[in-house]
Chain A
């Protein structure tokens, strides 16, 4: 269930597909840049990450995601739209927890804007993560 830009659980292919289907509704875009953030099976003191449990301040995520979009649209004049989706709850290693989808008139602004958006998300979005290890212990990052 999606609320604002948050989705419970991993971001599945149908989410990305539905965004791709919307592309043809516009004919002023020529380039799209997509970032997918995946949960990686990191090791911490010989313990392997099996999942990440994400939590978020929903009301503030909405506010900050809009601010990020405004920053991107102000800096990259050729960007026509930007979608940000972040998971909450459990996302297993290998699954996707972040989607950024930028559409622009041309590829240059699409790729640069997408990269900037990811950095702003890491800096400004009120989301927290708890790594869960194979032995079911956890660590807040």
Chain B
């Protein structure tokens, strides 16, 4: 049986406070479930304002996750 695994990327200040830029999570059903697992691993994240993207699209709901999905935790943008 193939393991279901997703990739989580941390950007900006979140990469600094977690000390992590990439972490894989397996057997996680939805983005909401994933957030809980992330907060378990990195409790400090909950104090920061960020948006979530799923495969390069910002999401505002709680979609199901599929094997190979890429999720990014993105603080407010500051480019330009």
The residues of A that contact B77 with a CB separation of less than 8 Å are 122-128
Minimum CB–CB distance from B19 to chain A (whole Å) comes to 15
Chain A, range 51-109, C-beta contacts under 8 Å to B: 54-57, 59-60, 63, 86, 98
Asked if B45 is at the interface (CB within 8 A of a chain A CB), the reply is no
* Complex Cα spacing A121 to B79, Å: 7
CA A57 – CA B79 in complex, angstroms?
A: 11
Contacts of A126 in B (CB 8 A): 11, 53, 72, 74, 77, 79
Q: Which residues of A contact B32 (CB under 8 A)?
A: none
Interface size bucket, B side? 10 to 19
For chains A and B in complex, what number of residue pairs have CB atoms within 8 angstroms?
Answer: 59
Contact with A along B66-80 (1 / 0, CB 8 A): 000010101101111
Are B80 and A128 in contact, CB atoms less than 8 angstroms apart?
Answer: no
Q: Given the complex, which residues of B lie within 8 Å of A54, measured CB to CB? A: 79
Would you give the shortest CB distance from A103 to chain B, in whole angstroms? Answer: 20
A22 interfacial by beta-carbon distance below 8 Å: no
Mask for A102-141, Cβ within 8 A of B = 1, else 0?
Answer: 0000000000000000100111111111100000000011
